[in-house]
Amino acid sequence: MSVTSPPRPPQPRASPRITEGWILEERPLRHPDHSSRQVMARRGWWLVGMNFLIPGSAQILAGSRKLGRFGLGSTLLLWVLVILTGLCALLWQPLLFTLATNWFVLLLAQALLIGYAALWAFLAVDTIRLVRLVKVGPAAKVGIAGLAVVLTVLASGTAAYGAQITGVVRDTLGSIFGASAASVPPSDGYYNILLLGADSGEGRDSMRYDSISVVSVNATSGAVTITGIPRDMVHAPFADGSPMQELYPDGFQGKSSSSCGWGSGINQLTNAVQNCRDDKGAGLYPDAETNGSTPAIEATKDAAEGMLGISIPYYVFIDMDGFASLVDALGGVDMNVTERLPEGGGPAYEGQPAEDWATGWIEVGQQHMDGDTAQWYARSRYTTSDWDRMKRQRELQTAILSQFTPTNVLTRFQDVAAAGRDLLQTDLPQSLLPFLSDLALKAKEQPVTTIELTPEHGVDPDRPDYAYVHEMVADSLHPATATPAPAG
C-alpha cells in the first residue's frame, strides 16, 4: 500500500511591485523609474559624464553590453598607447623619434585616431538615446543635451585634431624627405651638413647662393658649430674624387663669356655646373636628382669639403622666398640690432644714399621681428658689408633655433609644417632623423660655436690660405685637451 504525500499548499507569488521595486533599487541605471523626472535627470547626468570619462561605461551599465565592452576595450588600448608614448618620451627618446618619423607608424596612428573619434561620437549619440530625454524635465533636458554636445565635441574633436596633426607630419616628412642620399656614419665624430640660402622669388635670373655655411653636429654631445663661407670666396679647391677636381685641379676659376660666363667665387658654381652646360650638370653628377639634390648643390658640397677639409655628405637648402613664412609661423623672432639697416635696395642702388631708395628701416635696439623684417635683416648689405651680413645671418639662425621650443612648435604646428614644406629642400635620409632629433635636444642646452672665414678672423676671401682654414676648422671641431703636468 503506497503512501502519498499530502499536496503542498500553494506558495504565495512575489508581488510584481516588490520585484519592480527591488530592480529599481538595485539597478536604477538600467531599469530606472520612468515616472520620476528627478530620477531620470540624475541618471542622465551620470550616463553622459561616465561616457565622457570612460567611453563604453554607459553602455555597460544601461545599454548594449557588447557595444560597451568594445568601447571600454578601445579606451583601454588608447590609454595604454598614451602611457607607452609618455614613457618613451621620458626614457627612450630615440625610439620615440624613430616611431614618430616612420610613415607607416604615422599612418597607423592616424587611422586609429580617426576610428576612435568616430567611435566616441557614436557612443555619445547612443548615450543620449539611453538617457531618454523625453522623460526628464525641461531644464534638465537642455542641460544634459548641451553637456553631451560639448563633451562630444571636446573628446571626438581632440582625437580628430590629433589625426589631422599626424597626417600633416606624415605629409610634411614625405614632401621634404621624399628623395634622399644614403645614410652614412659620422665623419671624425661629426655630422656635417651644407646649409644653403637663396631667393627663388620673381626677378631672380638664376639660383646663386646668397648664404653658404656648414653645420657640424657632434655625434656624441650634440654640440653645434656653424662655419660661414663668404659667397664670393675664390678658387675653392675641390674634394678628392670630385668630378670638379678634374676640371679645376688648381681650384675653381672664373670664365669670361658674352653668352654665359661666371666668376671664381663659390656662389658662381651654379652657372659653371648647371646653367651654362648643355646637360645641366647631369654628366658631372648623374645621381644628383635621384638623391634629392642638384648638380650645382653637389659641386658646392665638393667645394666646401675642399675649403674646410671635412666630409660633407648632406645639404639643407633654405629658400629665402619662403623664409619669412617660417618666422611668422613661429610667432616672430627676437633680435638685438646693433646698427640701423635699410629695407629694400639692390645692385642698381649702389653708390646712392640709402635714404633715396630704402623702403623702410630696421632701428637699433631689441626688436621683435616679423618674417619680412627678419628677411631684410638677413639680406641687408648695401650700407654695411658681406661680412656683417654673414654675422647677422648666423645670429638669426641661432635665434630661430631657440624659437623651436616644443610648446611653440605644437601650438603653431600646422603653420610651421606648411612653411617648412615651402622652405626646405634636403637630401638628409629620413632614417637619420631620429638620431639627429635626439642630438637637437642636446644641442639646445649648449651654446652654438661659429667660425667666420672673414678678414676679421684672418682669412682674406680674395686670397684665401686654405691650409690655414683647414687648421682653423680642425682646431674648433677637435680642440686640444690640456695635458696634466707630471707629479713633482
Q: Which CATH number does the domain housing residue 307 bear?
A: 3.40.630.190
DSSP states of 89-114? HHH-HHHHHHHHT-HHHHHHHHHHHH
The pLDDT score that the predictor gives to residue 284 is 93
Please tell me the least confidently modeled range out of 5-14, 153-162, 341-350, 425-434. Answer: 5-14
Q: Is 357 helix (H, G, I), strand (E, B) or coil?
A: helix
The pLDDT score that the predictor gives to residue 93 is 75
Together in a domain, 220 and 122? no
The pLDDT score that the predictor gives to residue 9 is 57
Most confident of 153-162, 198-207, 318-327, 439-448: 153-162
CA distance linking residue 298 with residue 281, whole number of Å: 10
**Mean per-residue pLDDT, 380-385:** 68
Q: Is it the case that residue 354 has pLDDT exceeding 90?
A: no
Q: Is 211 helix (H, G, I), strand (E, B) or coil?
A: strand
204 falls within a domain: yes
- The rounded percent of the chain whose pLDDT value lies above 90 is 16
pLDDT single digits (tens) 238-289 = 999 999 999 999 999 988 776 788 889 998 999 899 888 889 999 999 998 8
Q: Is it the case that residue 309 has pLDDT exceeding 80?
A: yes
Q: Is it the case that residue 370 has pLDDT exceeding 70?
A: yes
The pLDDT score that the predictor gives to residue 21 is 44
What's the mean pLDDT when you consider all of the chain? 80
Together in a domain, 432 and 408? yes
The pLDDT score that the predictor gives to residue 469 is 94
Most confident of 159-173, 242-256, 404-418: 242-256
Residues 6 or more apart from 239 whose CB is under 8 A from it?
A: 245, 302, 305, 306, 311
Are the C-beta atoms of residues 214 and 451 closer than 8 Å to each other? no
Q: Is it the case that residue 2 has pLDDT exceeding 60?
A: no
380 burial class (0-12, 13-18, 19+ CB within 10 angstroms)? buried
Query: What are the grid coordinates assigned to 101, written together?
Result: 618619423
Please tell me the least confidently modeled range out of 292-296, 339-343, 366-370. Answer: 339-343
267 falls within a domain: no
How many helices, marked H, and strands, marked E, lie in the chain? 18, 10
Together in a domain, 34 and 131? yes
Together in a domain, 194 and 104? no
Where residue 474 falls among pLDDT bands split at 50, 70, 90? very high
The pLDDT score that the predictor gives to residue 28 is 67
397 falls within a domain: no
Please tell me the least confidently modeled range out of 93-107, 141-155, 164-178, 195-209. Answer: 195-209
37 falls within a domain: yes
CA distance linking residue 135 with residue 40, whole number of Å: 6
Cβ-count burial 439-473 (b if 16+ within 10 Å, e if not): bbeebeeeebebbbbbeeeebebeebebeebbebb
Domain that holds residue 461: 190-230+302-330+404-477
Together in a domain, 151 and 226? no
Together in a domain, 457 and 429? yes
Q: Is it the case that residue 108 has pLDDT exceeding 50?
A: yes
Together in a domain, 107 and 226? no
Q: Is 331 helix (H, G, I), strand (E, B) or coil?
A: coil
Tell me which of 130, 151, 176 is where a domain ends: 176
**Mean per-residue pLDDT, 168-189:** 77
**Mean per-residue pLDDT, 83-89:** 85
**Number of structural domains found in the chain:** 2
Together in a domain, 57 and 122? yes
- Residue with the larger pLDDT of the pair 301 and 394: 301
CA distance linking residue 338 with residue 364, whole number of Å: 5
367 falls within a domain: no
The pLDDT score that the predictor gives to residue 14 is 46
468 falls within a domain: yes
Together in a domain, 170 and 198? no
Together in a domain, 314 and 456? yes
Together in a domain, 75 and 45? yes
**Mean per-residue pLDDT, 161-174:** 79
pLDDT single digits (tens) 194-245 = 988 876 544 444 556 878 889 999 988 888 898 989 888 999 999 999 999 9
160 falls within a domain: yes
Together in a domain, 318 and 420? yes
336 falls within a domain: no
- CA-wise closest residue to 426 among 102, 174, 180, 171: 180
CA distance linking residue 270 with residue 299, whole number of Å: 8
47 burial class (0-12, 13-18, 19+ CB within 10 angstroms)? buried
If you ran DSSP here, which 8-state letter would residue 368 be given?
Answer: E
**Mean per-residue pLDDT, 320-328:** 74
